[in-house]
C-alpha cells in the first residue's frame, strides 16, 4: 500500500478481521468490514467536495462513530483532521476553525447552534450534520453554506478504496491546546506520532485483539484517542463509544459489554467507586485501568484493590501524542505519586536552566524526545522554536525529578497550567478575558484544590479606584467568552497583589494564601 498512515488502518483490519466488531455505540455495532466501507465512502465524498491532501476537516461532537469515520476518511486522502472540544464557546470554536483554515465542519446535530455561531465568518464552506433523531431537522445556518446529513453523504458516495501516498511524516491531526500567552496553539500531530504512540501503548500496557475498550472520556482529547481508541483498533479489538461519562451507566456498560479497558482521570475512578452500584456490579472483566492527569488518591486505590484491580498511571502531553511515561500497575503502591518510567520508544530527561541534565532527586524541567513527539505547532514558528532544546528535546514546561530507579515524579508546572477533571486550563487565557473589564486593575488566576475535580480556577483580582466589582460581574462577563470549565469557581478581591521586585505577580504567594478547599 502507498498509504502508510492512519488512513490505511481500517482497510488493513478489514483484510484481517472483516467480521469482527470494531465499534459499539448504543445499540449499533459496526464490523471492521462495515466500518471500512463507510470510511471509504466518506473519503470519496470529501474528495468530491474538493478536499485534497493537506486540507483541513474539523469535527465537533461527542464520542460517536462519525468522529472516527471522519478521522480515518481524512487519513485516506492525506487531509488533516481537526477535532474540536465540545465545551468551548463559539468564539473559541471560531478561532480554531479560522486558525486551521478548516473547509468542512462535521458536527453533531445537537450542536448545530454552536456550529453555526462558531463557523460564521470562517473559511468553512460546508457543514455536515451527524443525525440525531431527538434533534429537529431545521438548520438555522446562514444561506449560501451547504448543509448535508452525514449518512446521506456516505451512502451517496462510491465504496471504492483509495490508496493515496501518505507517509508517517505527513500531518494527521491538529489538536488545539490552550496557550500560555492566552492564544491557543495547534499541535500538529503526524501519522508517525500517533502510530509510535500506539506502539508504546501496545508494548507497555499489553493490549490484545480480544480487548473491549470502553471510552468514557471524549476523543477530542488526545489521551482518549491515543491511549485507548487507536491502540485497540490497531490490535483489532472492539471500542465502545459513550458520548459522556455518567458513573451508573458506565458501571452498567462494563458489565454489559465485558469491558477489559477503561481510561480516565482520578475523578472518574472516584465517582465510579462511590456510586451505589459499585459493589453489586460485575467488573471482573476489567484488566487495564489507565489514569492520567494527576496521582490517584490512596483511598481510591484501596477501593479498587479491594476488587482486585490496580491502575496504570502515566504522564504526557498533547504534544507527545500523548504518552511520555507509564507506571505499571504492580508499582502503583511502591511508587505511589510517581508518573512511572519512559514509554518504550520515548526518552525523558530532567535538566536545569542551562539545559544540563541533573542528578536523580534534583528538580528540573522535564524534556521529552521520541517519534511520538510533535515537530511543530500549526503556523506558530516562534512557539515551535521556543519549545525545543537542540531541535531534539521537547520542553514540557513541567518540573519534576527522577528517583534512583528512573521513576519520574512531577513537582510543579512552569506554565502554571491547571488540570481540572482532566481538562488543561491555562490561566493567561482567563486573565486576558477578565482584564477586559474596566473595573479590573490586575488579575491572576491560580489553581486551588477541589475534592471532585482535583483543582479548579480561582481568580484573584484588584479593583481600580472609583469602581466596584462583584463576583457575578466576572462570571457573567466570561459566560459567552470561555468554556464553562475555564470560568473561575471562586473570585477573590484583594487590596493589592504580592509582586516581585520587577513587578511580576507572585503566584506562589497567592496559592499559599487562597488554596483552601
pLDDT at residue 279 above 70? yes
3-state secondary structure of 390: coil
Could you tell me the fold of the domain covering 418-514? Answer: GMP Synthetase; Chain A, domain 3 (3.30.300)
pTM: 0.87
pLDDT at residue 510 above 70? yes
* CB-CB contact of 33 with 58 (8 Å): no
DSSP bridge pairs for 442? 462
- Residues 176-191 have pLDDT tens digits of 986 555 678 999 999 9
* CB-CB contact of 25 with 241 (8 Å): yes
Q: What is the pLDDT of residue 136?
A: 47
Cα 458 to Cα 443, 461, 486, 498, distances in angstroms: 10, 10, 10, 16
Helix (H) or strand (E) holding 39: helix 32-48
* CB-CB contact of 284 with 263 (8 Å): no
Going by C-alpha positions, the residue among 202, 90, 121 that lies closest to residue 107 is 90
Segment 400-426 shows an average pLDDT of: 85
The better pLDDT of the pair 487, 337 is held by 487
pLDDT at residue 228 above 50? yes
Segment 72-92 shows an average pLDDT of: 96
Q: What is the pLDDT of residue 517?
A: 45
Query: Terminal CA-to-CA distance of the chain, rounded, Å?
Result: 56
Going by C-alpha positions, the residue among 198, 245, 224 that lies closest to residue 67 is 224
- Residues 36-66 have pLDDT tens digits of 999 999 999 999 999 999 999 999 999 999 9
- Residues 430-447 have pLDDT tens digits of 988 898 898 998 899 999
Write down the residue that cell numbers 462513530 correspond to: 65
Give the CATH class of 6-167.
alpha beta
pLDDT at residue 391 above 90? no
Domain residue spans of the chain: 6-167, 418-514
- Rounded Cα distance between 280 and 368, Å, is 43
DSSP 162: P
Confidence at 267, pLDDT banded by 50, 70, 90: confident
Residue 372 has which C-alpha cell? 511520538
- Residues 322-375 have pLDDT tens digits of 999 999 999 988 998 899 999 999 999 999 999 999 999 998 999 999 999 999
pLDDT at residue 513 above 80? yes
Share of the chain above pLDDT 70, in %: 94
- Residues 7-42 have pLDDT tens digits of 999 999 999 999 999 999 999 999 999 999 999 999
Q: What is the mean pLDDT of the chain?
A: 92
- Residues 97-138 have pLDDT tens digits of 999 999 999 999 999 999 999 999 999 999 999 986 555 445
Residue 307 has which C-alpha cell? 476488587
Report the C-alpha dihedral over residues 322, 327, 333, 336, rounded to 10 degrees: -50
- Rounded Cα distance between 100 and 462, Å, is 36
Tell me the DSSP string of 345-367: T-EEEEE-TTS-B--TT--EEEE
Tell me the DSSP string of 283-302: -TT--EEEE-SSPPPHHHHH
Q: What is the pLDDT of residue 419?
A: 86
Amino acid at each position: 500500500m502507498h498509504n502508510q498512515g492512519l488512513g490505511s488502518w481500517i482497510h488493513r483490519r478489514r483484510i484481517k478481521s472483516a467480521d469482527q466488531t470494531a465499534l459499539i455505540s448504543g445499540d449499533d455495532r459496526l464490523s471492521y468490514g462495515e466500518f471500512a466501507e463507510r470510511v471509504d465512502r466518506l473519503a470519496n465524498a470529501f474528495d468530491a467536495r474538493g478536499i485534497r491532501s493537506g486540507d483541513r476537516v474539523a469535527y465537533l461532537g461527542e464520542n460517536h462513530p462519525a468522529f472516527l469515520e471522519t478521522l480515518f476518511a481524512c487519513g485516506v486522502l492525506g487531509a488533516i483532521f481537526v477535532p474540536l472540544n465540545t465545551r468551548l464557546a463559539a468564539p473559541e470554536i471560531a478561532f480554531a476553525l479560522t486558525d486551521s483554515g478548516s473547509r468542512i465542519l462535521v458536527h453533531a446535530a445537537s450542536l448545530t447552534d454552536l456550529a453555526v455561531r462558531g463557523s460564521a465568518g470562517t473559511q468553512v464552506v460546508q457543514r455536515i450534520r451527524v443525525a440525531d433523531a431527538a434533534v429537529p431537522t431545521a438548520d438555522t445556518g446562514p444561506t449560501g453554506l451547504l448543509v448535508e446529513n452525514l449518512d446521506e453523504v456516505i451512502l451517496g458516495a462510491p465504496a471504492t478504496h483509495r490508496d493515496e501516498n501518505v507517509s508517517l511524516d505527513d500531518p494527521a491531526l491538529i489538536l488545539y491546546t490552550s496557550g500560555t500567552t492566552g492564544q491557543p496553539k495547534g499541535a500538529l500531530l503526524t501519522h508517525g506520532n500517533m502510530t509510535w504512540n500506539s506502539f508504546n501503548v501496545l508494548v507497555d500496557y499489553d493490549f490484545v485483539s480480544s480487548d473491549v475498550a470502553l471510552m468514557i472520556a471524549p476523543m477530542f482529547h488526545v489521551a482518549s484517542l491515543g491511549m485507548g481508541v487507536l491502540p485497540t483498533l490497531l490490535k483489532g479489538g472492539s471500542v465502545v463509544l459513550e458520548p459522556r461519562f455518567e458513573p451508573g451507566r458506565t458501571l452498567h456498560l462494563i458489565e454489559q459489554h465485558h469491558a477489559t479497558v477503561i481510561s480516565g482521570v482520578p475523578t472518574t475512578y472516584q465517582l465510579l467507586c462511590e456510586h451505589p452500584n459499585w459493589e453489586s456490579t460485575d467488573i471482573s472483566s476489567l484488566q487495564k485501568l489507565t489514569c492520567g492527569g494527576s496521582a490517584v488518591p490512596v483511598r481510591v486505590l484501596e477501593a479498587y484493590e479491594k476488587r482486585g484491580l490496580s491502575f496504570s498511571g502515566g504522564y504526557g502531553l498533547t504534544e507527545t501524542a500523548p504518552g511520555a511515561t507509564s507506571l505499571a500497575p504492580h508499582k502503583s503502591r511502591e511508587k505511589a505519586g510517581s508518573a512511572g518510567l519512559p514509554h518504550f520508544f520515548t526518552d525523558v530527561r530532567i535538566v536545569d536552566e542551562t539545559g544540563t541534565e541533573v542528578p536523580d532527586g534534583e528538580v528540573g524541567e522535564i524534556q521529552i524526545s521520541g517519534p511520538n513527539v510533535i515537530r511543530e505547532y500549526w503556523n506558530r514558528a516562534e512557539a515551535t522554536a521556543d519549545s525545543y532544546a537542540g531541535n531534539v528535546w521537547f520542553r514540557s514546561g513541567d518540573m519534576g525529578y527522577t528517583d534512583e530507579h528512573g521513576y519520574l515524579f512531577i513537582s510543579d508546572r512552569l506554565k502554571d497550567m491547571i488540570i481540572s477533571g482532566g481538562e488543561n486550563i491555562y490561566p493567561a487565557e482567563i486573565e486576558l478575558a477578565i482584564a477586559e473589564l474596566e473595573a479590573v486593575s490586575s488579575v491572576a488566576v491560580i489553581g486551588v484544590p477541589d475534592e471532585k475535580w482535583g483543582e479548579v480556577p480561582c481568580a484573584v483580582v484588584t479593583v481600580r479606584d472609583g469602581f466596584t466589582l462583584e463576583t457575578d460581574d466576572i462570571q457573567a462577563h466570561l459566560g459567552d467568552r470561555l468554556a464553562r470549565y475555564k470560568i473561575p469557581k471562586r473570585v477573590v478581591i484583594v487590596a493589592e497583589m504580592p509582586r516581585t521586585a520587577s513587578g511580576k505577580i507572585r503566584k506562589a504567594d497567592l496559592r499559599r494564601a487562597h488554596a483552601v478547599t
